[in-house]
Amino acid sequence: MQQNEKQRQRIAMMTFASVYPLYLQKVTRKGRTEAELREVINWLTGYDGKRLDAVIHDKLTFEAFFQQARLHPNAHLITGLICGYRIEEIGDPLIRQVRYLDKLVDELAKGRTMEKILRKA
């Protein structure tokens, strides 16, 4: 995927705090919980509840959010289509990490089991 610099900068400068309520709304509308959403975020990034609250409070950008994250070693197992692009073909590391998170939130909202979402099976 060729991501032009303007699009990349827009995503990089977007705050995690501005997107988190949308993720929460998406999963709760489908019967999932905020605790499950936080579990998914923790698995991918290593952010525990207290640290995630600080990220939201401090309005970290997605770029800072992922720079400070400890990406799970199995994150590369997150594959498939998101927003019309194959995740495994996205060249830019930041965009790929954002799409990893988008994909996990989608899977949670679609009712996949936590075991499958967290790539345990």
11-29 per-position pLDDT tens digit: 999 999 999 999 999 999 9
The DSSP output letter for 92 is S
Give the domain extent around 61. Answer: 5-117
Give the pLDDT of residue 1. 44
Nearest to 74 by CA among 42, 37, 44, 112: 44
How distant, in Å, are the alpha carbons of 6, 42, 65 from that of 72? 28, 9, 14
CATH of the domain at 10: 1.10.8.290
The span from the CA of 74 to the CA of 78, in Å, is 8
pLDDT of 84-96, one tens digit each?
889 999 999 999 9
What's the length of the chain?
Answer: 121
pLDDT of 98-114, one tens digit each?
999 999 999 999 999 99
- Burial (0-12, 13-18, 19+ Cβ within 10 Å), 50: exposed
When the pLDDT of each residue in the chain is averaged and rounded to a whole number, the result is: 94
Nearest to 63 by CA among 7, 5, 8, 21: 8
Strand partners for 81: 86
Count the domains in the chain. 1
When pLDDT is cut at 50, 70 and 90, the band that residue 10 belongs to is: very high
